[in-house]
């Protein structure tokens, strides 16, 4: 079996553009992957075009060897854009491999270690304003109640205001009041995850926010500080009572290893669209397992990313919970002919279709072409004009 073509389809999903990758073979089999990276859509598509000649003529089932060729092909490291492109290509190769042997991908990853997969969604589902907008306790509480009514028992919200190196009394009160309103609305049995989005510019600022929310038992606090500062992250983790998580912006096992070695978090969050694919995510999860660290993959992306996350979760022992962004736009299901993702309340059920189990309606996808994403991060400005982290 040989790869004869690699193509991409960009599908606008309002806050982001999904990048679907299709690999075709000389035996009629083809595979789908996803390489979505916000605000870098055209760069990722270009990277896939650049990488395509390396794969032409290769057997798509030689996944590890093909990925090594893609990663090591040039003098320069591939970075987030290149690794996102490679992740999408790797997903598509797994899809072909599964189809070629008539088995779902999770079987090829080692088989199931659970009977269903626990999930959580974003407050407001796909509404960016509900996730990143102003912190209004009553509005957010209403959104939380709506999610619980839909059967979800866990959700995530961005709760920290834009912050520089120190916090303000107003900011702390806002975080505490909002978290209290959410907990009061949903009760003690619904899990709330808090994404600080790397907004605090110092460990002390992050810890003050953590202290404000800890009485309300968050399941975990995500990205309390910008990625790369392992020492500060470890300081936050040691001082915190609630679990600390990070990893959505770390690329490959190499970038996760210092965090894992320092025991700087309780949960790692590789994004299967960016970290290098399923094989690389398995390596990250295995290293985390040795350090007694759980895995909760990041995934605010499209339907093929959801399928990849489902197969990974089924086969990963230290998987904790899976982020989902289902139905994030009205045409979420329109672009699909088939999906392996079946939700039953707060759970995803195990898929049984060969490969990833995804089939894309390419004509429907073409009706939602690329649109420029909103640069919401430009709103991250302090009163004096200082640009801070979004």
Q: Is 204 exposed, middle or buried (0-12, 13-18, 19+ CB in 10 A)?
A: middle
Q: Which one of the listed residues 91, 197, 311, 368 is annotated catalytic?
A: 197
Residue 165 falls in the annotated catalytic set: no
d(CA 310, CA 53): 30
Decide if 358 contacts 336 (C-beta within 8 A): yes
d(CA 181, CA 123): 14
| Phi, then psi, of 195 in degrees rounded to 5 | -100, 115
Pairing mode, strands 154-158 and 244-246: unpaired
Q: Which one of the listed residues 122, 253, 274, 298 is annotated catalytic?
A: 298
Q: How far is CA 210 from CA 37, 190, 204, 205, 241, in A?
A: 29, 19, 10, 9, 9
Residue 197 falls in the annotated catalytic set: yes
Decide if 262 contacts 282 (C-beta within 8 A): no
Secondary structure, 3-state, 303-369:
HHHHHHHHHHHHHCCCECCEECCCCCCCCCCCCEEECCCCEECCEEECCCCCECCCEECHHHHHCCC
d(CA 49, CA 337): 26
Counts for the chain of helices (H) and strands (E), in that order: 13, 15
Q: How far is CA 124 from CA 243, 283, 329, in A?
A: 24, 33, 12
d(CA 93, CA 33): 8
User: What are the residue numbers of the active site?
Assistant: 197, 298
């Amino acid at each position: 079996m040989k790869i004869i073509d690699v193509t991409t389809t960009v599908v606008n999903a309002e806050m982001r553009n999904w990048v679907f990758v299709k690999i075709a073979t000389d035996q009629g089999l083809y595979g789908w992957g996803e390489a979505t990276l916000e605000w870098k859509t055209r760069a990722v598509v270009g990277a896939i075009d650049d990488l395509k000649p390396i794969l032409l003529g290769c057997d798509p089932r030689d996944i590890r060897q093909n990925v090594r060729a893609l990663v090591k092909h040039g003098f320069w490291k591939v970075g987030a854009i290149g690794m996102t492109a490679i992740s999408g290509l790797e997903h598509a190769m797994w899809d072909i491999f599964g189809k070629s042997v008539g088995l779902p991908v999770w079987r090829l990853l080692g088989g199931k270690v659970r009977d269903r997969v626990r999930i959580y969604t974003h407050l407001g589902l796909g509404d960016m304003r509900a996730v990143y907008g102003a912190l209004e306790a009553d509005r957010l509480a209403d959104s939380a109640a709506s999610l619980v009514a839909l059967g979800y028992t866990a959700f995530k919200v961005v709760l920290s205001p834009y912050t520089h190196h120190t916090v303000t009394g107003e900011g702390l009160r806002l975080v505490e009041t909002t978290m209290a309103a959410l907990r009061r609305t949903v009760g003690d049995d619904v899990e709330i995850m808090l994404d600080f989005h790397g907004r605090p510019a110092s460990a002390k600022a992050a810890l003050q926010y953590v202290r404000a929310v800890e009485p309300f038992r968050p399941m975990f606090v995500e990205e309390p500080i910008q990625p790369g500062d392992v020492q500060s992250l470890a300081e936050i983790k040691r001082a915190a009572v609630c679990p600390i998580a990070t990893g959505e912006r770390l690329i490959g096992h190499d970038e996760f290893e210092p965090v894992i070695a320092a025991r700087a978090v309780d949960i790692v969050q590789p994004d299967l669209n960016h970290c290098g694919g399923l094989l690389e995510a398995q390596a990250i999860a295995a290293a985390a397992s040795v350090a007694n660290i759980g895995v909760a993959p990041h995934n605010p992306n499209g339907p093929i990313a959801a399928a990849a996350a489902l197969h990974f979760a089924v086969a990963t022992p230290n998987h904790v919970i899976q982020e989902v962004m289902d139905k994030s736009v009205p045409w979420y299901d329109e672009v699909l002919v088939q999906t392996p993702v079946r939700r039953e309340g707060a759970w995803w059920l195990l898929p049984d279709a060969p490969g990833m189990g995804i089939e894309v309606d390419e004509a429907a996808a073409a009706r939602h072409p690329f649109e420029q994403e909103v640069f919401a991060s430009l709103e991250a400005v302090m009163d004096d004009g200082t640009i801070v982290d979004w």
